Amino acid sequence: MQSISPEIIFRGNDAWERALPQITNLTKSPLILGRSTYTYDLRNKIFRDLKDQDLNANITNLHFDCCYEDISRVKNIIKSNNHDSVIAAGGGKVLDSGKYIAESLNIPCVTVPLSASTCAGWTALSNIYTKNGQFIKDVALRSCPKILVYDHKFIRTAPSRTLASGIADALAKWYESSITSSSIDDGLVQQAIQISRVLRDQLLIDGGKAFNNDSANNSSWRNIIEACGLTAGLVGGIGGERCRTAAAHAIHNAITQIITPNKFLHGEIVGVGLLLQLRLEEMKNKNKLADQSIKQLLILMKELNLPTTIAQLGINVFENQNIDKIADFTFRDNSEIHFLPFEVCKQDIIKVIANFEQQKIKL
């Protein structure tokens, strides 16, 4: 079974207003789920608009992350108030929690992304973390959300850092799926990989303009937020489980195991993982194009103010055996690193990270 996309998608400047009648048809007692204080006003607007439709709406926030503690607390709220849907309004962690909770209670989920940081508003997937933000696992869901509301006016209010993070995460689609899945003899998987290549090209061409967001280039901004929030999700939907992530996400998952005072966004960490994946390809797979890709990516990542080393994520890999901790988690059983089509061992990743971090001045 494969769920390719949300059942209904509203996109554009007044997507939320246009979605309201459909939402009113779907649910009489929705629970709005959010998290960040940045998005408090938007969630309040959503709440008031639903109340104006005579819906018995309620609102609650995640305390931590997309973690089992929050999931079971929110599930109890839904059960005790007889809510009949979840409206997840926020970034990836909120969207993933909303989808997971709705599915486990067998009620529909409406996703309302409030930034372009992720394609979680689209996908049938939830990433589960500890309450401190350490990655635990991916959970494949039975279906994509019932309704996705991609309201450009809402997304325009998000900090530009979220867009940069979304661009890095969407870029990873091509570099990861093309290396893990290009030998799979399945038309849909091949077409998903081709879409991710076009997606990468668009991000490389227009990502900087969208991030700098001058009004003359409004169409760049529009195309890029939709690339990050919609097209990246479509690639996952068409490619399915076999259009896989690889080292960039495996390294992301490992880096989140080290708790730092400042939290970084998913795509910010994936971007660093992507550079390390390419170095690994260069070293172990003799991929001569990898070095060019790194140079090309670094130009964009600097323009987007994205971190390009683990040190810039607030972690000194040469302290507290951090490099071993990252390598151990990257190489655990079930890690995406094992999808790479060439031999690679723990010592290789230690070498790549050590070289990379020592060269950080030159990068």
Handedness of CA 114, 118, 119, 125 (dihedral sign): negative
User: Nearer Cβ to Zn ion, position 169 or 281?
Assistant: 169
Q: How far is the CB of 25 from Zn ion (least distance, A)?
A: 32
* CB 122, CB 236: distance < 8 Å: yes
65 scored as a contact of Zn ion (CB under 5 A): no
Q: Select from 60-68, 165-173, 216-224, 275-283 the region that touches Zn ion (CB under 5 A).
A: 165-173
Helix segments in the chain, DSSP class H? 15-26, 40-52, 68-81, 92-105, 152-156, 160-181, 187-212, 218-226, 232-239, 247-255, 266-284, 289-303, 322-330, 346-358
Spatial separation of the C-alpha atoms in residues 165 and 271, rounded to whole Å: 8
- CA-nearest of 288, 270, 281 to 339 is 281
268 scored as a contact of Zn ion (CB under 5 A): no
Q: How far is the CB of 121 from Zn ion (least distance, A)?
A: 13
Buried b / exposed e along 43-58 (16+ C-beta atoms within 10 A): beebbebbeeeebebb
* CB 10, CB 148: distance < 8 Å: yes
SS3 288: coil
Tokens at residue 139, please? 């959970």
151 scored as a contact of Zn ion (CB under 5 A): no
Q: Select from 65-73, 75-83, 161-169, 286-294 the region that touches Zn ion (CB under 5 A).
A: 161-169
User: Nearer Cβ to Zn ion, position 23 or 119?
Assistant: 119
User: Nearer Cβ to Zn ion, position 87 or 250?
Assistant: 250
Q: How far is the CB of 75 from Zn ion (least distance, A)?
A: 25
Please give the single-letter amino acid code of residue 119. C
Q: Select from 5-13, 168-176, 292-300, 307-315 the region that touches Zn ion (CB under 5 A).
A: 168-176
Q: How far is the CB of 245 from Zn ion (least distance, A)?
A: 7
Q: How far is the CB of 270 from Zn ion (least distance, A)?
A: 5
* CB 112, CB 87: distance < 8 Å: yes
Q: How far is the CB of 235 from Zn ion (least distance, A)?
A: 11
Q: How far is the CB of 256 from Zn ion (least distance, A)?
A: 12
Tokens at residue 257, please? 């195991």
Handedness of CA 344, 348, 350, 355 (dihedral sign): negative
User: Nearer Cβ to Zn ion, position 151 or 169?
Assistant: 169
Helix segments in 256-321, DSSP class H? 266-284, 289-303
Spatial separation of the C-alpha atoms in residues 279 and 16, rounded to whole Å: 43
169 scored as a contact of Zn ion (CB under 5 A): yes
336 scored as a contact of Zn ion (CB under 5 A): no
Q: How far is the CB of 171 from Zn ion (least distance, A)?
A: 10
User: Nearer Cβ to Zn ion, position 78 or 167?
Assistant: 167
Size of the site for Zn ion (CB under 5 A): 1
Instruction: State residue 107 phi and psi, 5-degree precision.
Output: -120, 160
User: Nearer Cβ to Zn ion, position 91 or 108?
Assistant: 91
User: Nearer Cβ to Zn ion, position 169 or 336?
Assistant: 169
Question: Which residues, 6 or more positions from 102, have their beta carbon under 8 angstroms from its beta carbon?
Answer: 85, 86, 108, 109
User: Nearer Cβ to Zn ion, position 47 or 268?
Assistant: 268
Q: How many residues make up the chain in this entry?
A: 363
User: Nearer Cβ to Zn ion, position 165 or 309?
Assistant: 165
Q: How far is the CB of 169 from Zn ion (least distance, A)?
A: 4
* CB 100, CB 139: distance < 8 Å: yes
Q: Which residues bind Zn ion (CB under 5 A)?
A: 169
